[in-house]
Structure 1
Amino acid sequence: VYEMGSTFKALSISMALDSGRVTLGTRVDARDSLRYGRFTIHDFHATHRILTVPEVFTHSSNIGTARLALMVGVEGHKAFLRKMGQLDRLRTELPESAEPLVPKRWGELNTMTIAFGQGLNVAPIQAVMAVCALVNGGNMMVPTFLPRTPEEAAKVSHRVVSEQTSESMRYLMRSNATHGSASFANVPGYYVGGKTGTADKIIHGHYSENKVFTTFMAITPADKPKYLFMTIYDDPMPAPEDHGFHTAAYNAGRVAGALIRRVEPLEGVPPEKNPPNQPFPIIARLGYGADADKTGKE
């Protein structure tokens, strides 16, 4: 099990949207670091301004995501993550699995850090399961390694978020590929959506200052996802051309893009010449377009 870093922001933002307390137009204050007792939450790429929800996602704001989670509250946060299968051991056809590492005492600070992927350790396939549910229309189903027909899948699935919340997450992941941290995986012709995650690696019970665990989630096509790619790196080294950066965009993100470019043609999915005409109809009715710009509006 691992800390999944900022890929967990997809769960946190979908939770806030699905609760009804937050909309895509909600603004959160990320002008200053967020202090809680002796702890301070920073943004890796700080904007020092008020952000809309799409900006919280594309700028991967720890501060903004923590504030959104606090709007839902500790108990609501725990209930949502349990519903999304993140607090219990995931069982599949393979016997090898591990229990998530969950805080014994879960208070507001835990909700703030777990919101951006720190303080809760899950199996990568658990995170995949949750993100699949967030983008497939809102239906959760336990992963399987065996063939399963759409009808069989429907029988074992249940709704966890609304269709509007699901479309919002597809929209946010697509926007992150066009002008956010997922740009390295934005392969032309596949209408990719994605989210990066970089977590400080835990060594002997302490966070390392220079070793990370990176994650990248990509969906294709973002309007009606058929595939979800997950790439993970354990302690990646920065490439010479990346100016010392070893965060997820530079390794897991690049590899996810390479996988999409190579694997999808093997699956008989050629690149499309034109993007979909009306990719996000619900979002369009709310006043947003196919790809939000830096203000969160078309």
Structure 2
Amino acid sequence: MGKESFLNFINDICLLKKPEIEIPEVGAPSLPDTSDIRMMTAAFGHGISVSPLQIVTAASSIMNGGILIKPTLVLDKDPNRTKSDKSSVRIVSEKTAHRMRQLMRLVVTDGTGGKADVPGYNVGGKTGTADKNEGGRYEKNKRRSSFMGFFPAEAPKYAVYVMVDEPKGTKESYGYATAGWVAAPAVAGVIESIVAIEGIKPQDSDELGGTLSAYVKTKEQIEKEKQLVALTGH
């Protein structure tokens, strides 16, 4: 991808600047430098710090079709206001956004986010477990565990983000304090409350669900594609 492309992308999804919202008490992101090693570690979450609001904004923009969403605390009740009125900045293609929804649904159906699932509501999301930085060093026994969830996965309307600071493993979690054990269940609880309050009925279908084998190519498939390209030139 390259450093410049990576920097441009995380800037496009508003991870390098303070979120614009109706209150002044907004945290600024932290990226000490843009050296090659910093960019490599930032790609998997180390060396860069952002606020929960930034995470929700970035994830929601990708999940919601690839158009940048501007966070707000004000409910827009204007029925004539369309999505195109709110934002016209495309950060990823519709195809990429759709694939990301598929993958995040799979995190819940097949991966580490299983405890975020609420039957009938097609929850998608991503776990995040990070060692805490104290005094310039990452502490192995102190972490922040989080889960970024959304539903329904095929046409997201709600986003739920839960972060737990320095969680401790319990007997029920078999000693684990990772996101799938401590944050994902909390997201499921919030979603259960939302659907009860809003009176949202469960769905019968799950068009994005399935198994990883339906979306991930095997080594044999990749090898056959390489041979086809070698023979046809495209």
What interval of TM-score do these two structures reach, taking the shorter chain for normalisation? Answer: 0.7 to 0.9
Per-residue deviation, 1:201? 0.9
Pair 1:117-2:45 in alignment: yes
Query: Which residue does 1:136 correspond to in 2?
Result: 64
Work out the percentage of aligned pairs sharing the same amino acid.
36
Query: Which residue does 1:50 correspond to in 2?
Result: none
Counterparts of 1:181 and 1:100 in 2: how far apart (Å)? 27
Counterparts of 1:224 and 1:297 in 2: how far apart (Å)? 22
Counterparts of 1:222 and 1:233 in 2: how far apart (Å)? 24
Bigger-Rg structure (1/2): 2
The correspondence for 1:231, drawn from 162, 165, 183, is 162
When you count strand as a share of all residues, which structure comes out higher?
1
Runs of 4+ aligned structure 1 residues displaced above 4 Å come to: none
Counterparts of 1:117 and 1:297 in 2: how far apart (Å)? 24
Point out the more displaced range, 79-88 or 156-165: 156-165
The correspondence for 1:249, drawn from 176, 180, 199, is 180
Uncovered stretches (5+) of structure 1, i.e. residues with no partner: 1-71, 281-289
Counterparts of 2:212 and 2:15 in 1: how far apart (Å)? 32
Counterparts of 2:106 and 2:3 in 1: how far apart (Å)? 29
State the secondary structure of the residue aligned to 1:110. Answer: helix
Aligned length: 214
Contact 1:171 1:291 (C-alpha < 8 Å) held by counterparts: no
Pair 1:166-2:82 in alignment: no
Point out the more displaced range, 156-165 or 141-150: 141-150
Cα deviations by residue, 1:129-172 (Å, 9 ceiling, x for unpaired): 01011011111021000012472653231211110010001000
Pair 1:296-2:212 in alignment: no
> Larger relative CO (CA 8 A, sep 6+): 1 or 2?
1
Tell me which amino acid in the other structure corresponds to 1:84.
Answer: I
Shift in CA distance, 95/153, structure 1 to aligned 2, threshold 3 Å:
farther
Shift in CA distance, 110/239, structure 1 to aligned 2, threshold 3 Å:
same
Point out the more displaced range, 109-118 or 148-157: 148-157
Query: Which residue does 1:275 correspond to in 2?
Result: 205
State the secondary structure of the residue aligned to 1:171. Answer: helix
Per-residue deviation, 1:116? 1.5
Uncovered stretches (5+) of structure 2, i.e. residues with no partner: 218-234
Query: Which residue does 1:106 correspond to in 2?
Result: 35
Counterparts of 2:213 and 2:185 in 1: how far apart (Å)? 23
Counterparts of 2:163 and 2:49 in 1: how far apart (Å)? 14
Cα deviations by residue, 1:271-298 (Å, 9 ceiling, x for unpaired): 22x114xx36xxxxxxxxx424257359
Query: Which residue does 2:230 correspond to in 1?
Result: none
The correspondence for 1:155, drawn from 67, 82, 85, is 85
TM-score (norm 2): 0.86
State the secondary structure of the residue aligned to 1:159. Answer: coil
Counterparts of 1:162 and 1:105 in 2: how far apart (Å)? 26
Shift in CA distance, 212/294, structure 1 to aligned 2, threshold 3 Å:
farther
Counterparts of 2:214 and 2:99 in 1: how far apart (Å)? 16
Contact 1:137 1:167 (C-alpha < 8 Å) held by counterparts: yes
TM-score (norm 1): 0.68
Shift in CA distance, 142/96, structure 1 to aligned 2, threshold 3 Å:
same
Query: Which residue does 1:87 correspond to in 2?
Result: 16
Shift in CA distance, 194/121, structure 1 to aligned 2, threshold 3 Å:
same
Counterparts of 2:153 and 2:125 in 1: how far apart (Å)? 9
Contact 1:199 1:212 (C-alpha < 8 Å) held by counterparts: yes
Counterparts of 2:136 and 2:181 in 1: how far apart (Å)? 27
Pair 1:191-2:122 in alignment: yes
Contact 1:89 1:97 (C-alpha < 8 Å) held by counterparts: yes
Contact 1:141 1:153 (C-alpha < 8 Å) held by counterparts: no
State the secondary structure of the residue aligned to 1:261. Answer: helix
